[in-house]
Amino acid sequence: MKAVVLAAGKGRRLWPLTENRPKPMLPVANRPILEHIIDTLTQTAITEVLVVVGSNRDRIQSHFEDSYDNLEISYIVQEPQLGTGHALLQAESHLGDSFIALNGDRVIDAAVIDAVINRRKETTNPVMAITRIERPSRYGVVELEGQTVVGLEEQPHPDRTKSDYINAGVYAFGPEIFAAIRRIETHGEKALTDALDTFIDDQRLEAVRYQGTWLDVSEPWDLLTVNTALLGTERSSNTIPENATIDPSAVVRESTTIGENTVVHPQAAVLDGVSLGENVSVGAGAIVKNAIILSDATIKSGSVMTDCIVGANTTLGSNTTVEGGHADVVLSDTVYHDVTLGGLIGDNVAGGGNVTITPGTIVGNNATLDSGTYVSGRIDDRSHVQRG
């Protein structure tokens, strides 16, 4: 059986990191989200994977090439990116009577894929995995009658959800799904969920309940949550590479992961929930907690990094503080209240010493932060933040 992985979206809410890489290639536990997903597929009956790519697609194709473990991998380009339904349509000519489709930004267990495959073998009906989460109103709430999906509602009001089950984003389909996608009346994006909403009016869509790992990355703080959830599990390794250098006086907690050629200098502390990418330098006396530091980043001496994501090839000067904690953050004209995000700092940022970054700050790529500056809010790409 083939699997189609929908990995073409840009991920605008994860700006600025998604300017230089597609959303599925953002790292959690020092591996791209998409690698966690494809690794899961190797543990199932799937033998061939079609990856629908779009924005920054070369980053995906060069990473996986034409195989991964026992899987054959091929690529289909979605251009322009007009939604998940439109993405699936691009794979139509490559698929047979039965296939699996799944999102490229949700980390799951092999068990849910196996369950969907097995249900599809037992019936001729399309199948959708569903799961329970604490805040179902963030996602597509699924209304059920027995094992049949009878209603789908995208992001309902928190006080009026009809179910505590959500769409888990794993499906088994046949050719009938393509006709449903084409019936969507829109001049813009064609969402797969919109197609399913009309599909269930006259055909049966079966539900498979699943309560294993289901980790979604939609907003920047989700990266931190997913990173922490994966650290210390079989999906990540907290072993220190032989070519990494950890000073004997430094503290590195077990619930971390360290990349190749990374250096942790004297008296530094790498605490819980931290992923350090390849060639990262953590300066003397620096403290890093609940953070993702991408490859080639430099955190200089005396800095304190809390609840933050630091982009590739970024340098933050001595005694820089990312305060950590809760903030209200605006993404794509939506206000997210009281989220845990000390800061999101893009790629190739040059920071001077004694910079303070307040909770909820987002700094664009290639920005410059002068020494002693107090940085808050949203800083555009290539901005120059100066004192006074």
Q: Give the pLDDT of residue 10.
A: 85
Tell me how far apart the alpha carbons of residues 95 and 384 are, in angstroms, rounded to a whole number. 50
Q: Give the pLDDT of residue 137.
A: 76
For 86-104, the pLDDT digits (tens) are 999 999 999 988 999 999 9
Q: Give the pLDDT of residue 159.
A: 64
Q: What angle do CA 216, 222, 227 make, to 5 degrees?
A: 90
* Residue with tokens 């979605």, as numbered in its chain: 78
Tell me how far apart the alpha carbons of residues 86 and 253 are, in angstroms, rounded to a whole number. 44
Q: Are 139 and 133 in contact (CB under 8 A)?
A: yes
CATH of domain 2-218: 3.90.550.10
C-alpha dihedral (6, 11, 16, 18), degrees to nearest 10:
10
At the topology level, CATH places domain 230-385 in: UDP N-Acetylglucosamine Acyltransferase; domain 1 (2.160.10)
Which are the contacts of 202, defined by CB distance < 8 A and separation ≥ 6? Answer: none
b/e sequence 238-268, b meaning 16+ C-beta within 10 Å: bebeeebebeeebebeeebbbbebbbbbebb
Entry field: residues in the chain: 388
Q: Give the pLDDT of residue 225.
A: 96
Q: Looking at the chain, which residues constitute the CATH 3.90.550.10 domain(s)?
A: 2-218
Q: Give the pLDDT of residue 237.
A: 67
For 103-127, the pLDDT digits (tens) are 999 999 999 999 999 999 998 889 9
Residues of the chain with pLDDT under 50: none
Q: Is pTM, for the whole model, over 0.75?
A: yes
Q: Looking at the chain, which residues constitute the CATH 2.160.10.10 domain(s)?
A: 230-385
